[in-house]
Amino acid sequence: DWSMADLARESIEKIREKVGTDRVLLGLSGGVDSSVAAALIHKAIGRQLTCVFVDNGLLRLHERELVVDLYKRNFNMDVRVARAGSKFLKALKGVTDPEKKRKIIGKTFVNVFQDSLKRIGDAKYLAQGTLYPDVIESIAIDGNPAATIKSHHNVGGLPKSMKFELLEPLRELFKDEVRALGSALGLPKEVVWRQPFPGPGLGVRVLGEINKRNLDILRKADAVLHEEMMESELYYKVWQSFCVFLPVRTVGVMGDERTYDNVIALRIVESKDAMTADWSRVPYEVLQRVSTRIINEVEGVNRVVYDLSSKPPGTIEWE
Ligand code: XMP
């Protein structure tokens, strides 16, 4: 794509000019925006860029390894991982209220991120994958969860003593342009066309108390769903597809044994912008395979249900 190659070249030139010989830090989440920002800035200034990936313990199966692998091995980026899972779990212990969980996760994220930045040392710039719609949104819509998220992803809460200048190379772009740019920069389809994933991660998908057992069950179930969505080529056709862990036990039977285990809900939706959504008419065969596999393969689960709620009045996430 000609225009994309031009755009990339132009952006890279601008970044080089602005940054000079200074260092740049970037919070890498593995999502589309921060990934494209990282790839672009890396192309411009190489090892002057340091990325920080926070492992909050609320990630999907092998997610940290996949992200680190891609950027370190394939791109030779300087990626530092903050392993903070136990910090998050400790802070979340005993908390069941959804809003409290979100606040704790957001606050802990900012603390961990700040600590990592301090440890990395002097840098002039903090880079962010802010897009044009984010710029508008943060001015406009109140009560939009996306805006709340962004406040924690875009580290609005950095202390005044940390004087960074912002570097936002995607600020004039729309999502589709960012994806095209990402492809032009050599990012794989799995990154460029990744489904949205909330900042608080599986924290909003383990209902009730978040603990290691429940997270592990959800991770295994979610990996099965992901595999089947890929296998059936539905993953890129729907807006989001994920599992929710319900802190509810129901009775079942396995062999001659009575079981009393947890429930997994499947949430698969179609949407254009997440403002409205409808449950996806996934073929029964796919639902059946997912259900059978989760019940057989994930210990602690004996029942799978499908969420038939549209948004509104439901939301996409359960919390
Ligand atoms: P809801 O559940 O409000 O979600 O219909 C709309 C979209 O936003 C995502 N979402 C979040 N993303 N932090 C995020 O970064 C959050 O706290 C959050 N809550 C919801 C959700 O996955 C969906 O795509």
The number of the ligand 1 atom at minimal distance from the alpha carbon of 240 is 24
CA distance 83 to 93: 18
Determine the distance separating the centroid of ligand 1 and the alpha carbon of 205, expressed in angstroms.
11
The 8-class DSSP code of residue 298 comes to: S
Determine the distance separating the centroid of ligand 1 and the alpha carbon of 50, expressed in angstroms.
27
Mean pLDDT of the chain: 93
Name which residue sits closest to atom 7 of ligand 1, judged by CA: 274
The number of the ligand 1 atom at minimal distance from the alpha carbon of 150 is 15
Cis omega (within 30 of 0) on the bond before 188? no
Q: Consult the annotation and say whether 186 binds a ligand.
A: no
CA dihedral 104→110→115→119, nearest 10 degrees, is: 150
State the ipTM, two decimals: 0.99
List of domains in the chain: 2-192 (3.40.50.620), 205-306 (3.30.300.10)
Q: Consult the annotation and say whether 29 binds a ligand.
A: yes
Residue 95 has pLDDT above 90, yes or no: yes
CA distance 258 to 84: 38
Name which residue sits closest to atom 3 of ligand 1, judged by CA: 315
pLDDT band at residue 160 using 50, 70 and 90 as cut-offs: low
CA distance 155 to 107: 10
Once rounded to an integer, what is the mean pLDDT over residues 166-194?
96
- Please state the length of the chain: 319
- Spell out which residues line ligand 1, taking CB within 6 angstroms: 102, 145-146, 148-149, 196, 198-200, 240, 274, 311, 315-317
Single-letter code of the amino acid located at 146 = A
Residue 149 has pLDDT above 90, yes or no: no
Determine the distance separating the centroid of ligand 1 and the alpha carbon of 24, expressed in angstroms.
28
Question: pLDDT tens-digit profile of 46-70?
Answer: 999 999 999 999 999 999 999 999 9
